Amino acid sequence: MFDLRYHVASLAAVFLALVIGILVGVGIADRGLVDKANTRLLEQRVAQLRNQLDQASKRSQVSAREQKAAQKYISETYPVLARNRLKGHRIAVVFVGKVDDGLSSAIARALDDSGAVQIRLRALKMPVDDKQLDAKLSTQPADQQYVGKAKLEQLGKALGVELVTGGDTPLWNTLNESLVDYQAGGSKQPVDGVVVARTVPPQRDGTSRFLFGLYQGLSSGGPPAVGVEASDAASSAVPIFRSADLSSVDDVDTPAGRLALVLLLAGSPNGHYGFKRTADDVLPPFARG
């Protein structure tokens, strides 16, 4: 008897293969070996298959076995696909909570494999102490506009913008001792992308508002901003990343997740990628030149 799961799995496998094929093709095309017409034909076919897969997925879930097969396929092609895709890009990494060694290693590998440079890292103390922040802000006339619990979201957003644009960063300078648990790298240079990883449980009240503002500030500065988590994260941050207009990768500890992160930082359309229910797709489309 026909089993819809196998139909969905087949479509998924073909779709992934074509996505990988297009990515490889684009990389080769940069060296003048593939014409644009053939690439466009592949893109059209992928769009058709994506629609078929979306329709089928409404009635069935791709099985864990097919997910594992897809991960293996991407793992074998990842080094070629990631190589130099972010060459020279300056990236900032923000941990909401203490630095997690596993996530830090996965992010660093994606950046190294793609030729990017991590120019600054900030790990934030959670939850925020709003009274301590207010005491610091009150000492600077220009910062008094952010004093008070009602201004925490506005404060977070301003800090996010400062982190992306660099320069003098007066707010970070004022609040560094109260807000930062660990830091590496300077603050002067602007960045070409931001990676955010939440290592604490979902926050409440003022801290929640502060973080929502921070995420909005990071995503509103122009360069790509991507929230990441491991495939076995105890509590997913994807819903809050989505609501704050950050893209997300829910399996950055896997080759597929690292490739998705690289593609998003390279300029692929915003979205939410991985194998969890919150994902829009496994991989983003490649960025158009």
CATH number at residue 188: 3.40.50
pLDDT at 209: 97
pLDDT in tens, 26-72: 554 454 445 666 656 655 655 555 555 555 554 445 556 666 666 67
Domain that holds residue 115: 90-273
User: At which of 15, 46, 62 does a domain end?
Assistant: 62
Mark whether 37 and 128 lie in a shared domain: no
In this predicted structure, the answer to whether residue 79 has a pLDDT above a threshold of 60 is yes
Average pLDDT in the chain: 84
Average pLDDT over residues 163-179: 95
Instruction: Mark whether 134 and 199 lie in a shared domain.
Output: yes
pLDDT at 279: 92
Whole-Å CA distances, 12 to 23, 167, 235: 16, 45, 27
- Inside any domain, residue 218: yes
Residues 32 and 148 in one domain: no
Provide, rounded to the nearest whole percent, the portion of the chain with pLDDT above 70: 74
Sheet holding 180-184, edge to edge: 180-184, 117-124, 90-96, 193-198, 225-228, 247-249, 272-273
- Taking only the tens place, the pLDDT of each residue in 87-105 is 999 999 999 999 999 999 9
Residue 5: pLDDT over 90: no
Per-residue pLDDT at 123: 98
Is residue 12 within 8 Å of 20, Cβ to Cβ?
no
Question: So what's the pLDDT on residue 283?
Answer: 87
User: How many independent structural domains does the chain possess?
Assistant: 2
Mean pLDDT across 153-159:
98
